Amino acid sequence: MSERVQTTSVTELDPVCGMTVDTATAEYRSFNDGKAYYFCAAGCKANFDKNPAKFIGAGAKSEGH
């Protein structure tokens, strides 16, 4: 009955595959428009760098112009 949620680490979602990435240990990161994005693997970062708008846009569908 002592189960607690650890809140000491900060996690972000990998915008490419949707995995949770710990920002403290993330080896792969990219900056776009002033925001940092974290990735679980080099392949995810490479995909993001190829076309960042594709992944950023997918997460902000509800924000219309």
Residue with tokens 């392949």: 43
Q: Does 15 bind Zn ion (CB under 5 A)?
A: no
Q: Where does the chain show beta strands of DSSP type E?
A: 11-13, 20-22, 28-32, 35-39
- Smallest distance, Zn ion to C-beta of residue 23, A: 14
Q: Which residues inside 43-62 make contact with Zn ion, applying CB under 5 A?
A: 44
Q: How far apart are CA 28 and CA 38, in angstroms?
A: 6
Q: Does 17 bind Zn ion (CB under 5 A)?
A: yes
Q: Does 40 bind Zn ion (CB under 5 A)?
A: yes
- The residues binding Zn ion (CB under 5 A) are 14, 16-17, 19, 40, 44
